[in-house]
Chain A
Amino acid sequence: MLARSCLRSTRALASARNSAVQFTKRAASSSSSGSTAESPLRLNVAAAAATAVAAGSIAWYYHLYGPTAHAMTPTEEGLHPTKYPWVHEQWFKTFDHQALRRGFQVYREVCASCHSLSRIPYRSLVGTVLTADEAKALATENEYDTEPNDQGEIEQRPGKLSDYLPSPYKNDEAARFANNGALPPDLSLIVKARHGGCNYIFSLLTGYPEEPPAGASVGAGLNFNPYFPGTGIAMARVLYDGLVDYEDETPASTPQMAKDVVEFLNWAAEPEMDDRKRMGMKILVVTSVLFAVSIWVKRYKWAAIKSRKIVYNPPKDNTTTRF
């Protein structure tokens, strides 16, 4: 009932609109016929004035909002990292798992003394960075709280594959206290959490100059790093040539270690990347196959229509043609 009444009302509206359109059409035609009688000067003045107002409004807008105000100095902004040709960032490339293994070694031997990696369990290292036995052996090196026992006491047990990597400090306050007030950030998602991602972290790790440029002010307890916004960073340079002995005997130069650990941290931030790229490849394959099939099916369905021939045979006319 309601629907029917609605329909009726819309129909009424439509008829009203039609009549209105007709009315305006009629009015427009009558007015245009009237204006041709007027002087063309007045029309041109109106157009010129409208154009002037339009141009003026644009000019006013750019006067108000056009120039960008740079409130930050380059020092405060920090040096933007250079773009490095990371192989694992290409569309059809995976992580180099040998590099991940080296990077995990660098994390464990260098970074882990200050930075936590609290979102990574040992089980996720299995098959990507370590073998199952290696990961189990690594997990048992640390102790974790058990469930409360019969007396309600919480005891310590050796770690299992399901445990998460241990943090170097008990909490953020302890971390700040130990590091002169500066909090070493958790590295689980750090590649996603910083502008420039891999390039930024690589540049930051390797970009400490021998000495700050002349006249640069470095705060107490801070180190000069051009890539860090404000250039004063609490973390000192940690990677030095030959700091780590790689098990595959790669020469452990500073940029090599930085590259490996950055790739490892990228894996930590997006462990699904290899699978994601494979899935993208699958989708490309499936959609291209379906696209090809659809074209063939279309050709098949349209074959009759495309190949038909319409012939008109005029009736035989015995009379002479007239011109």
Chain B
Amino acid sequence: MLPLDEGLWAVTQEVPAAEFTEDALRSRLADQRQLEESARTHHAVVTAASADGPVVPLPLATLFTDPHRAQAALNDQRPRFLAALDRLTGRTEWAVKVYLRQRGEGRGEAPASSTSTAEASGQAYLKRVRDRDQQCRARQDAALNAARHVHDVAAGYAVASVQRRPHGPEITGRDRTQTLNAAYLVDDAQAPRLVAAMRALGHAPSEAEVEVSGPWVPYSFAEAPDAAPGAGGIGV
């Protein structure tokens, strides 16, 4: 624990400099297993720290050359930390994901199979194209509406939300497509209601699956909402 000004503390760890050079870091974080290990450890520390009070997570591998440098750099950021703590105290982050089950039907079959007569095939072709486009559009609309509805309900319990690009099949599995990958900042009192609402939506008969996970330390809401992500700070 590294003391900062105004009653803030930084949770830090000393590491051997030689193992945390630019090159070493690069290769370490490019290795899937080591990246996973680092991320899980980082997450475990952040989560454990949150048991004792509100925390502001910093990204993985925030490194300083010595404790004094860390103190100075972190103290410079106090206004941002204090603002974040105000925003995050008494609140947690909840993740909500919506999946659409894939049905077996094949898409993209050759539109111009010519069993019909030359006269009819032009019209039949157009009809097939139209039907296929319509089906495709209907499916997109259904997926969009289902995801939107879940988002609207979840947002009703939240003070802020972020939507991320949905995960690919290597994460979701081949038989389903993720249509919503969102996070919500929720007051502690609202959290059970959000979870109940999401479970109810998940049980409703539809093609959509709803997954809710949390409480997370509010990683996704640590930056002020109007701060452009990644802008400022880095490399200055």
Asked if A and B are interacting partners, one says no
Partner-A contacts on B (CB < 8 A): none
Partner-B contacts on A (CB < 8 A): none
